[in-house]
Amino acid sequence: MAWNLNSDRPIYAQILERIQMQIVSGVYQPGTKIPSVRELAADAGVNPNTMQKALAELERSGLVMTQRTSGRVVTEDLNMIKEIRNQLAGEQVKEFVKKMKDLGFDREDIIDLLTKETGGESA
Amino acid sequence: MSELVEIRNLTKVYDKKKTALNGLNLTLPRGRIIGLLGPNGSGKTTLIKIMNGLLTPTEGEVLVGGEKPGPVTKAHISYLPERTYLSAGKKVSELLAFFEDFYEDFRPERAREMLASLSIDENAKIKTLSKGTREKVQLILVMSRDADLFVLDEPIAGVDPAARDYIIRTIITNYNENATVLLSTHLISDIENILDEVVFLKEGNLVLQATVEEIREQKGKSVDAYFREVFAC
Amino acid sequence: MLGKLLKHEWREIWKIPAILLGILLVVSVFAGSTFFAPVWDSELSGLGILAMLVWMLYYFAIIGVSIGVTLYLAIHFYKTMFTDEGYLTHTLPVTSHELLLSKILPMMAWQMLATVAILISVAIFGSMAILALHSDGLTFREVYRQIFEVLAEEGFFGNMSLIGFITSMLCAFLAGIVSGAMMIVGSVSIGQMVGKHKVLGSIGAYFAINTVVQILSCIVFVPVVVFKVSNEMPESVFDVLTPCYFGMSVLAILVSVGLYFLSEYLIRRKLNLD
């Protein structure tokens, strides 16, 4: 399947994250329509009810909205998208830092590594 | 009538000695994708054939929409057997006409669209098509109906991953929201994401009927993993 | 639904029997044309042998066509009802009566067409022989006019017992067509009850039904004939044959009706596809 879902974690959470990601990264632009439940479910190879649930959750958070005429559209509230983006980034950073600490790196080492990785001069 | 399928005390004994179904009781709701799971010889195909009126039960009955298998149920069930039933001498277009004549819920334009997307020539005779293409033609015919119940017997057995994705996609895209899809398989990991519910059969008995969510929450593992545990020899 | 079933059934089966009957007619013209060759007075003895071979071919063509059509219809019935194709046939939203009739009626039509074709073929062969062997320039039309005249002179058309006889033959012919189709349907359906050897079961059932019908006709007709003959000497042979043919027709129809209801019951209540 194109969505590379794995069976260790709940499918519903995985597709939720994936659609969030696509909105944040601009695959689905603010104010544009997203595909129907059926199409998304077929793409992901998941049960339409599961997809429905994930979309309902997105709707509850306000990231997508249902319009009577054109189905579901991505919110035009750029602040909200930005907020979600920051939130996702925060989660990634937390995860990263935790792993680095497990590997025995301290704060200085991590910053150093990050600066190098992103092409800057080390301190 | 809230339940679509009711199975009561269903028993099938072959040749007076081989028990394929052993007093099975089961109900299937509307609007779900249900996996009929079990190892080979667990009675899946026997159950499916009885539902479609191709086998006569030894005891008990199956009701679909409150009716025993007959002309009324057959008008509302779309069935994909595990073998090819298309007569070799017919053209694809003749089969479309055949389905259109007999099944009121058949949507030829939908079938034509799917055939075109796979570049299957409507004027080709079935015998000139490869085995894989024949199976796809059959799937397209079956999924182009607006049936209440789709009964798909081993739709993904023995196909390559690309074909499997195509089949799963076709099923999800075409079934009606109020319809139920019952699909049998022994390859659970391939389809477990599309299921609402599962029915486990073992040696003609019902082992478990549950939603996929229940299994994940209560057992803390995937349906596939749980299945392996239940049927471990 | 019956109309639709009939339409599709006819489309599917008409080709092969039509080709067989076409071949028969070609062979009969070919066989008849041998009479125009100098078969008997030729110095080449090989020509005579060749002509005999052609007539034998014709003879086998007649037998072959009638067996061929019956066998083809039987195999087609078996294939669409009880093999993989049966998975589609029996999941159509039609009643078992509609399904059976859609198979039986075309079968009867082809049995009838085959019989008519054989009659036509014999007529072609016979008239060609007569035309060729009469050197006095007879035409086709002439031959039949003469046959007609001879029959009229013999009082054929006023003869009630002869008319009765012909009617009884016609009845027997029609009943034969009905029972011919029902024998196929009945024996194949009964054969399905035999666990694993369904084809063998069908063939067995065919001969079993045939035997039963033979025995039944003996039981019914032998006393009738004996009684008729012993009571008073019948005026003509027709007085004995006519009731026999009528009786055979009634028996054939009764057996056919019985087989129909038996087959319908088996298909509706005892179907078990492998």
Burial class (CB in 10 A: 0-12, 13-18, 19+), A11: buried
- Find the DSSP H helices in chain B: 44-51, 71-74, 92-102, 108-117, 131-143, 161-174, 188-191, 212-219, 223-230
Taking 60 as the threshold, does the pLDDT of residue C128 lie above it? yes
Could you say which DSSP state residue B67 is in? B
Q: Does A5 touch chain B (CB under 8 A)?
A: yes
- Dmax (CA) of chain A: 56
Taking only the tens of pLDDT, chain B with its 233 residues reads 468 999 999 999 998 889 999 999 999 999 999 999 998 889 999 999 999 999 999 999 999 999 999 999 999 999 999 989 999 989 999 999 999 999 999 999 999 999 999 999 999 999 999 988 999 999 999 999 999 999 999 998 878 888 888 889 889 988 878 899 999 998 888 888 899 999 999 999 999 999 988 888 888 888 888 888 888 75
Do residues B193 and B185 make contact, with C-beta atoms less than 8 angstroms apart?
no
CA distances, C201 to each of C68, C191, C197 (Å): 20, 4, 6
User: Residue C39: what pLDDT?
Assistant: 63
- Look at A118-122, B100-104, C64-68, C103-107 and tell me which has the smallest mean pLDDT: A118-122
Q: What is the pLDDT of residues C254-272, one digit of tens each?
A: 999 999 999 999 999 999 9
How far is residue B8's CA from residue C16's CA, in Å, rounded to a whole number? 46
Q: Return all residues near B191 (Cβ < 8 A) that are at least 6 apart.
A: B35, B156, B168, B183, B185
Taking 50 as the threshold, does the pLDDT of residue C245 lie above it? yes
Taking 80 as the threshold, does the pLDDT of residue C253 lie above it? yes
CA distances, C93 to each of B30, B102, C88, C89, C99 (Å): 21, 7, 10, 9, 10
Q: How far is B223 from chain A (nearest CA, A)?
A: 9
Do residues A62 and A75 make contact, with C-beta atoms less than 8 angstroms apart?
yes
Query: In CATH, which superfamily holds the domain spanning B1-76+186-233?
Result: P-loop containing nucleotide triphosphate hydrolases (3.40.50.300)
Which of C8, C80, C87 minimises the CB distance to B83?
A: C87
Q: How would you label C117-131 residue by residue, b for 16+ Cβ within 10 Å and e otherwise?
A: bbeebeebbebbbbb
User: Residue A2: what pLDDT?
Assistant: 59
Indicate yes or no: CB of A48 within 8 angstroms of CB of B177.
yes
Q: Does C80 touch chain B (CB under 8 A)?
A: yes
Token pair recorded at residue A2: 């194109």
Helix, strand, or coil (residue C187): helix
Could you say which DSSP state residue B129 is in? S
Q: Name the amino acid, one letter, at B183.
A: L
Q: How far is C192 from chain B (nearest CA, A)?
A: 12
Chain B environment of C88 (Cβ under 8 Å): 85-86
User: Residue C232: what pLDDT?
Assistant: 67
Which of C85, C94, C271 minimises the CB distance to B87?
A: C85
- Phi/psi of residue C155, each to 5°? 75, 25
Order of strands across the sheet that contains B59-64: B18-29, B3-14, B59-64
Partner residues linked to B183 by β-bridges: B35, B152
Q: Does B101 touch chain C (CB under 8 A)?
A: yes
For chain C, the structural domain boundaries read 1-137, 158-274
**Residue bearing the bigger pLDDT, B218 or C82:** C82
Do residues B30 and B2 make contact, with C-beta atoms less than 8 angstroms apart?
yes
Most A CBs within 10 Å, among B172, B189, B215, to test the A interface: B172
- Phi/psi of residue A46, each to 5°? -125, 165
Taking 70 as the threshold, does the pLDDT of residue C64 lie above it? yes
How far is residue A1's CA from residue B95's CA, in Å, rounded to a whole number? 31
Q: What is the mean pLDDT of chain A?
A: 86
Could you say which DSSP state residue A107 is in? H
Indicate yes or no: CB of C87 within 8 angstroms of CB of B101.
no
> If you average pLDDT over residues C28-51, what whole number do you get?
76
Count of C-beta atoms within a 10 Å radius of residue A57: 17
Q: Residue A1: which pLDDT band, with cuts at 50, 70 and 90?
A: very low
Taking the C-alpha atoms of C71, C76, C79 and C80 in order, what is their torsion angle to the nearest 10 degrees? -150
**What does the DSSP assignment read for A28-84?**
S-TT-B---HHHHHHHHT--HHHHHHHHHHHHHHTSEEEETTTEEEE---HHHHHHH
> If you average pLDDT over residues C48-63, what whole number do you get?
88
**Residue bearing the bigger pLDDT, C221 or B82:** B82
Report the percent of chain C where pLDDT is more than 90. 55
C168 closest CA partner among C247, C245, C115, C225: C245
Do residues B122 and B163 make contact, with C-beta atoms less than 8 angstroms apart?
no
How far is residue C129's CA from residue C150's CA, in Å, rounded to a whole number? 19
- Find the DSSP H helices in chain C: 2-13, 15-33, 45-82, 86-89, 96-133, 140-153, 160-191, 198-231, 238-269
User: Residue C136: what pLDDT?
Assistant: 64
Token pair recorded at residue C143: 């031959």
Do residues A42 and B166 make contact, with C-beta atoms less than 8 angstroms apart?
no
How far is residue B184's CA from residue C60's CA, in Å, rounded to a whole number? 53
B69 closest CA partner among C273, C182, C190, C1: C273
Give the containing element (helix H, strand E) for B21. Answer: strand B18-29
Q: How would you label C96-106 residue by residue, b for 16+ Cβ within 10 Å and e otherwise?
A: bebbbbbbbbb
